[in-house]
Chains A and B, each alone.
Chain A
């Protein structure tokens, strides 16, 4: 480390642009894997609540597997393992189109889906069964009562854990650097290797992560407050 901190060295060309590109990749992976996680998570929760024994067991196994295996291992499994099982045509296509990013999104998204589905499930459990019975007796089918009555309430109840897990998802996108995704952590390491400005480079990345986490928490808390169901609040 040099005697003086020089943040300008980090932002100077070409590192400033690299940093910006890394930021964009981090945000892109966060958004894409969040959407994947939320849709798969909702699907899993509905499958589990459908009452079918086989579906429930499959979902339980899925959740248990993902909660007990490190995310890094999951990312490595997708990138090295599952990728190698795909037909060569798809592999070649993936190599040309930033395959590592696609596999990272798949791995992170499917991993977090297990957590989101648990959040939704605990939200579902806190809804009185009368809600479901009433909507069924009004003539709505299983899927329609889920869609129009149960799930809207569930998502509102499940806001706080969603926020926590969204923050977790955002932080864990940094693990994608292990398979060479040029996201923020990876970029910062590259810049550090070339400039030897370790402190400055890590400091900027850390500040960015802390900032986004805080923004997510604050926005999440406000949203949770706005969408909370008045009758169940304290």
Chain B
């Protein structure tokens, strides 16, 4: 196992970078960060539409979120692979395809996180802000969202972890991220599949476990800050939305 890491750490970390395309852990992380950053504004809009008092806005947003959540990610990857070139008018790379898919998929899940965050705020926040003369849009933007997003940072980190996990699907469409790189190593060695895939699993575990622990510690901080002397919320309350 050590030998494999010693011989192939470069391929697993950055792919064939100076000679070829960027890959490995680095591409996985870049894709996950870009996916989360790009899906964030979309998810905020979706979340606000979903709690909007107007059915015209609420129903389409709800349908979109539910549809995206009921389709397997891999099916969504194939749809993007097929539809994006038609929309753009030229062929697109695997990395772009995967990124588009991640943005759409994560936006749907993240919007549920943000919606839950807004709805968890006491009604008095909305009422108080409105009574002070702020408009609906101002209330959402200046009062509700800042609080909701701060409270939701742990869930957003968990969402980032699922994005990292989802990038592994790049393997299916030959994006050279970590899983693809490991498979490449495996096909060069041929005789040590268990070791190679164990290294792959442990690498994902190391990255994601650190982030999960970060989310846990932040969760405690948020709970302390928000609730003061009240009992803390159980960490399991958001799980059902998050695991994708």
Chain A residues engaging chain B, CB cutoff 8 angstroms: 1, 64-65, 67-74, 76-77, 80-82, 84-85, 115, 118, 122, 125, 160-161, 164-165, 167-168, 171-172, 174-175, 177-178, 185, 189, 198-199, 202, 205-206, 209-210, 213-214
Contact = CB atoms under 8 A, between A and B. Distances in A.
Contacts of B169: 72, 175
Given A171-B70, A178-B171, 4 more contacts: A1-B86, A67-B212, A68-B205, A82-B194
Nearest to B28: A70
25 contacts: A64-B205, A65-B201, A67-B212, A67-B243, A68-B205, A68-B212, A69-B165, A69-B204, A69-B208, A70-B165, A73-B197, A80-B186, A80-B193, A84-B193, A161-B239, A165-B243, A168-B243, A171-B73, A175-B72, A175-B169, A177-B74, A178-B172, A185-B78, A209-B71, A209-B72
Contacts of B166: 70
B67 A210 contact: yes
A82 B236 CA distance: 32
Nearest to A115: B243
A82 B205 CA distance: 18
A210 B82 contact: no
Interface residues of B, number: 44
B144 interface: no
Contact of B205 (A65, A84, A115): A65
Contact of A122 (B71, B164, B209, B236): B236
Contacts of B208: 67-69
Given A69-B204, A160-B240, A81 B194 contact: yes
Contacts of B200: 73, 76-77
Contact of A76 (B72, B79, B183): B183
Interface in B183-209: 183, 186, 193-198, 200-201, 204-205, 208-209
Given A65-B205, A73-B197, A214-B70, A209 B75 contact: yes
